[in-house]
Amino acid sequence: MALPAAAPSARDRVSARSSGVGERRVPFADLRTIVFIAVRQLWERKLLNGIAVGGVVLGVLVLIAMNGIMQGFSMKFTQAILKISPHVIILDTELRPQPSILARYEQGLVATQVAHEVPSDRQARIKRPYEIVHALHELPDVKAAAPSLSGMALIEFAGKTKSIDLRGIDVDKQEKVTPLSQFVTAGSIATLGVANDGIMVGSGVAADLGLHVGDVVHAAAPGGRPLDLKVVAIFEAEIPPVDKVRAYALLRNAQTLLGRPDIISRIEVLLWDQDRGVPASDRIERAFGYDAEPWQETNANFLAIFAMQGMIANFVVAAILLVGGFGILSIQIMIVLQKQRDIAILRSVGLRRSDILRIFLLQGVVIALVGGVLGDLLGKLALGQLAKIRVHMEGLVKSDTFLIHEDPRFYLYGLAFALVVGVFASLLPAIRGSRVEPVDVLRGQIG
């Protein structure tokens, strides 16, 4: 007579379940169960998880604050410089200059060698400038164009002398390219257009010489005829490098003063889209044969400084976010080590490896999401407070407060970076927790 088989012990049943022998296929745990377990474990470790949330909050806060300051400064400079400067400048440098003497007579036997070629006594100029201005208006990218002349001159008032960057302009055409009237703080630019001897100076020039509207300055330049000019307007573009050296006069007066009669040395161009400065300048060079300089090239040094500052800020923010990520990683690993027996029990009652993985990933997402939202709120508050701080700044731009630019994309970037850091920081602890074997824990080999 056969003896009945002995019933398997609890230890044998656990071993069989962990090894998969005789295991009944259990469906994935319900999402509500996963969320309940994850939130319950987070709440039990409020202090540790709060520290992890604080690391994420700090990273997102710094990201928003630093980007707001950096973007505010660069955008203020860009907006200010584009209001006072054109999008493209056509210079008097010919891209296809006249050939040398020998090249002109290469088909004949005029000479075999030239010892020294005397430079041309013709001054650099843009040939047929008004025809070019008319043709520029036919280009689809061009909104307006204005001829001008620039050069260095000296002005004297009350025994003081100052070197200025003099711009000779046609007031009506120049106003369409760079609306100077919005920067006038005293006098009127309309007076400059009708006065025969008027000059408009920057606020820095006026401050250095003690000038007011109605004062008469004595102006002179090498090779030109000195003139007495009356200050009819004072402007302030809030860009110290411009305000301290620049002055405007009528084109004919500037030509007389600089000794360059009937000469146009530059054509300033306003585009419909300022971001198309580079392709538009390339097209202008091919069409007219003169060097065309986009505003990006004119201000390349300043833009490079802003780009470098942005890179430094991004490195700092990335470092802080990584520190926050390591905080999540260390805390999650600590929780996995402390919850070995709980994980074994969950596995024993039917939860799969994937369910354990989802629990710990969900915890990382919750930490990152809470930290990201709090970081966004504090970042918005920080930008508002920074914008109220009174500071006197006078460098590339002039301002009495912190220059802040608030872009909604900053908050989305902060939340996205926080989630990425949280998921990746939780991935390793989640994988480690999902590999816990219940039989090893219950045997006392782990935990």
Residue in 139, 178, 168, 149 with CA at minimum distance from that of residue 281 = 139
User: How high is the pLDDT of residue 314?
Assistant: 78
Q: What is the pTM of this model?
A: 0.68
Domain ranges of the chain: 26-78+303-442, 86-96+122-294
Least confident span in 1-15, 29-43, 148-162: 1-15
The mean predicted confidence, pLDDT, of the chain is: 80
Instruction: Give CA separation, 138 vs 57, 130, 261, 286, in Å.
Output: 54, 13, 28, 15
Least confident span in 77-81, 341-345, 405-409: 341-345
Distance from the first to the final alpha carbon of the chain: 46
Angle ∠(329,317,358) on CA atoms, nearest 5: 30
> How far is 168 from 252, CA to CA, in rounded Å?
7
Instruction: Give CA separation, 446 vs 149, 332, 342, in Å.
Output: 84, 17, 12
Within 8 A by CB and 6+ apart from 306, the residues are 70, 73, 74, 77
pLDDT tens, residue by residue, 80-112: 788 888 999 999 888 866 555 555 555 555 555
pLDDT at 143 over 80: yes
- Whether 288 contacts 92, CB under 8 Å: no
DSSP string, 332-392: HHHHHHHTHHHHHHHHHTT--HHHHHHHHHHHHHHHHHHHHHHHHHHHHHHHHHHTT-EEE
pLDDT at 345 over 90: no
> How far is 347 from 393, CA to CA, in rounded Å?
63
pLDDT at 294 over 50: yes
pLDDT tens, residue by residue, 346-390: 776 677 777 777 887 888 888 888 888 999 999 999 888 888 887
The beta strand positions in 84-197, using DSSP E, are 88-94, 142-157, 160-169, 184-187
pLDDT tens, residue by residue, 181-222: 999 999 999 899 888 899 999 999 999 999 999 999 999 998
CA dihedral 68, 71, 73, 79 (to 10 degrees): -130
Residue in 117, 122, 50, 10 with CA at minimum distance from that of residue 366 = 50
pLDDT tens, residue by residue, 405-440: 888 888 888 888 888 888 887 777 777 767 767 666
